[in-house]
């Protein structure tokens, strides 16, 4: 256990909530989370709600170290609940709202949470209900705070309706205590939970807050989902530590975001945000007049989008790079050159190296795998020591699976991935997970799932299938309908191609590079 010592030798609470609480207290009478109509929650109210929701969590049986699994729509109430979980010393486990019951069932079994928070409109049924009972996990609808959705406040039987102000201070924790488990899919087709500590999230939040010059008068336009590290940690933590106003949109809609840029100063998004904004004729210099920073990450930003954006707005997008397991790793600078096609050097306090398959660092300019070490790097995969061992080098470097070069100043340019992964609109899709389900469908002998270039999503998921003898070739709608109960819709193929056989190398491995080359023009417009 790492206990941090303060200046006078006293033990400092490693609970990141403590730091957020100080920042929120300093901004007490400012608006924190704001709806497009200007109403919302002030910082003092957000603090109070975090305290009251922590009381409700405790009353629901949640204790320090317990996992709280959360699959709810984006809302201010969800932000307050996240803070409440940290305050109590419990472990936040966010899930994509697109996951089906079958996918959620897996997370319930794996995380063994004490509580599952869901939308009140959702009827829990069948196998999921049985699994929750089996792992002794209580399920509760979240409900909504009055400042969030007045129409929905006051509903009985929700976490919100059970609020009770705790008179205890934030849980005292060592800084290596678990704060969150973020599930990321894996090349085996099974999701792994990345264990992130309070130290991981605090070090990254502080570094980014400083590096990106966060100011108290910043207004963050928040249109990302809050079940992934980009929207939950990177965006929210920078703004909360800065005591900034957060304009909180339920989802990304290009026209709404464009209108809301007026009087905002910072936007964080995936590249799809920027290509969709560029599709709007009203997106111009006047629309971004108050904006000081556009940040992009989670997927490669093309040099074309970077250049078009600069030509249209006069501003250069700041691209950074990270992962759920490591939070943010590199960033282009706030001051100085932001270079298209590069993700900048390692963040202060973070070490990166480009290594060969044997883990030996390569000379500048050579392509290798990005490896990373630092206070931002997770401690391992939840209940999966084997996978953890496989992805760390002995000296503590984590192997990202991203292929890149570094120049002699340490600036990194990502050139590909050694992991079999498709990134579509900032969401990761692991082909193995889709192939496993496709191969089990009647009429399909085998399949290979690939990512092909797509203007809107960057990459689109494509299924290449070989039909069983005598079976009719499947059409896309039938295939998607067959997968619908088991697979989130963003993971489902956007096209299906039928071949008589899959190309294989001498070892029998499917040559996906050939398939990608064959179908690269599928979505060319």
Residues in the site for ligand AMP, rule: CB under 6 A? Answer: 184, 297-300, 319, 321-324, 343, 400, 402, 414, 417, 423, 428
Q: Which tokens is 196 given?
A: 């992130």
486 binds, among ligand AMP, ligand MLC, none (CB under 5 to 8 A by kind): none
Helix, coil or strand: residue 67: strand
What lies within 8 Å, CB to CB, of 506 at 6+ separation is none
Whole-angstrom distance, CA of residue 222 vs CA of residue 216: 16
Whole-angstrom distance, CA of residue 88 vs CA of residue 103: 27
Minimum CB–partner distance for residue 344 and ligand MLC (Å) = 13
Long-range contacts at 102-108 (CB < 8 A, ≥ 24 apart): 102/127, 102/485, 102/486, 103/486, 103/487, 103/488, 104/71, 104/128, 105/131, 106/190, 106/191, 107/69, 107/183, 107/191, 108/69, 108/132, 108/135, 108/137
In terms of CB distance, is 224 or 241 closer to ligand MLC?
224
Q: What is the DSSP letter of 186?
A: -
Minimum CB–partner distance for residue 29 and ligand MLC (Å) = 31
425 binds, among ligand MLC, ligand AMP, none (CB under 5 to 8 A by kind): ligand MLC
Q: Does 323 bind ligand MLC (CB under 6 A)?
A: yes
User: What is the torsion angle, in degrees rounded to the nearest 10, for the CA atoms of residue 110, residue 115, residue 116 and residue 120?
Assistant: 170
In terms of CB distance, is 21 or 402 closer to ligand AMP?
402
Contact 157, 138 (CB under 8 A): no
Contact 122, 95 (CB under 8 A): no
Helix, coil or strand: residue 221: strand
Q: How far is CA 294 from the centre of its chain?
A: 18
252 binds, among ligand AMP, ligand MLC, none (CB under 5 to 8 A by kind): ligand MLC
Q: Does 352 bind ligand MLC (CB under 6 A)?
A: no
Q: Does 523 bind ligand MLC (CB under 6 A)?
A: no
In terms of CB distance, is 258 or 323 closer to ligand AMP?
323
- Work out whether the CA dihedral 126, 127, 132, 133 comes out positive or negative: positive
Q: What is the DSSP string of 324-365?
A: TTTEEEEE--SSS---TT--BSBPTT-EEEEE-TTSPBPPTT
Using the rule CB under 6 A, give the single segment among 5-13, 153-161, 419-427, 514-522 that binds ligand MLC. 419-427
Q: What is the DSSP letter of 161?
A: G
In terms of CB distance, is 417 or 436 closer to ligand AMP?
417
Q: Does 504 bind ligand MLC (CB under 6 A)?
A: no
- For ligand AMP, the nearest residue by Cβ is 324
Q: Does 231 bind ligand MLC (CB under 6 A)?
A: yes
Applying CB under 6 A, which of residues 448, 457, 462, 496 lies at the interface with ligand MLC? Answer: 457
Applying CB under 6 A, which of residues 170, 374, 426, 493 lies at the interface with ligand MLC? Answer: 426
Applying CB under 6 A, which of residues 13, 207, 331, 424 lies at the interface with ligand MLC? Answer: 424
Minimum CB–partner distance for residue 228 and ligand MLC (Å) = 4
Q: Does 272 bind ligand MLC (CB under 6 A)?
A: yes
108 binds, among ligand MLC, ligand AMP, none (CB under 5 to 8 A by kind): none
Judged by the rule CB under 6 A, the positions of this chain that interact with ligand MLC are 224-225, 228-231, 251-252, 270, 272, 297-298, 322-324, 424-427, 457, 489-490
């Amino acid at each position: 256990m790492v206990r941090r010592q303060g200046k006078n030798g006293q033990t400092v609470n490693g609970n990141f909530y403590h730091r957020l609480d100080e920042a929120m207290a300093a901004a007490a009478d400012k608006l924190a989370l704001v709806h497009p109509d200007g109403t919302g929650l002030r910082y003092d109210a957000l603090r109070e709600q975090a305290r009251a929701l922590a009381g409700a969590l405790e009353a629901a049986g949640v204790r320090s170290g317990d996992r709280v699994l959360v699959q709810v729509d984006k809302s201010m109430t969800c932000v307050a609940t996240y803070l409440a979980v940290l305050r109590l010393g419990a472990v936040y486990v966010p899930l994509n709202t697109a996951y089906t019951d079958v996918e959620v069932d897996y997370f319930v079994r794996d995380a063994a949470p004490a509580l599952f928070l869901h939308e009140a409109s959702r009827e829990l049924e069948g196998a999921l209900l049985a699994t929750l009972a089996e792992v002794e996990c209580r399920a509760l609808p979240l409900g909504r705070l009055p400042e969030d959705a007045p129409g929905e406040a006051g509903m009985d039987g929700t976490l919100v309706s059970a609020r009770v102000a705790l008179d205890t201070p934030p849980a005292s924790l060592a800084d290596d205590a678990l704060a969150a488990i973020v599930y990321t899919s894996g090349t085996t087709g099974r999701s792994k939970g990345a264990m992130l500590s309070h130290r991981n999230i605090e070090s990254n939040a502080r570094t980014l807050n400083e590096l990106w010059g966060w100011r108290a008068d910043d207004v963050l336009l928040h249109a990302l989902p809050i079940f992934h590290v980009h929207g939950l940690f990177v965006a929210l933590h920078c703004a909360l530590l800065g005591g900034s106003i957060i304009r909180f949109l339920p989802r990304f809609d290009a026209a709404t975001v464009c209108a809301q840029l007026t009087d905002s100063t910072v936007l964080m998004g995936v590249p799809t945000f920027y290509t969709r904004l560029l599709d709007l004729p009203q997106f111009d210099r006047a629309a971004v007049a108050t904006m000081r920073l556009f940040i992009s990450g989670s997927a490669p930003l093309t040099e074309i989008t970077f250049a078009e954006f600069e030509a249209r707005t006069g501003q250069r997008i700041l691209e950074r790079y990270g992962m759920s397991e490591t939070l943010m790793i590199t960033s282009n600078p706030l001051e100085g050159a932001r270079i298209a096609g590069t993700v900048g050097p390692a963040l202060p306090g973070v070490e990166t190296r480009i290594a060969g398959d044997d883990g030996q660092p390569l000379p500048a300019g050579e392509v290798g795998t990005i490896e990373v070490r630092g206070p931002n790097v997770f401690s391992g995969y939840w209940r999966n020591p084997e996978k953890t061992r496989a992805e760390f080098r002995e000296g503590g470097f984590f192997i990202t699976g991203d292929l890149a070069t570094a120049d002699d100043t340490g600036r990194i340019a990502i050139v590909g991935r050694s992991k079999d992964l498709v990134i579509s609109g900032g969401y990761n899709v692991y082909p193995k997970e889709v192939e496993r389900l496709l191969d089990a469908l009647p009429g399909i002998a085998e399949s290979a799932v690939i990512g092909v270039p797509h203007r809107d999503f960057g990459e689109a998921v494509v299924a290449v299938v070989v039909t069983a003898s005598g079976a009719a070739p499947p059409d896309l709608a039938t295939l998607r309908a067959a997968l619908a109960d088991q697979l989130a819709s963003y993971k489902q193929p956007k096209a299906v191609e039928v071949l008589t056989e899959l190309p294989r190398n001498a070892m029998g491995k499917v040559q996906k590079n050939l398939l990608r080359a064959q179908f690269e023009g599928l979505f060319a417009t």
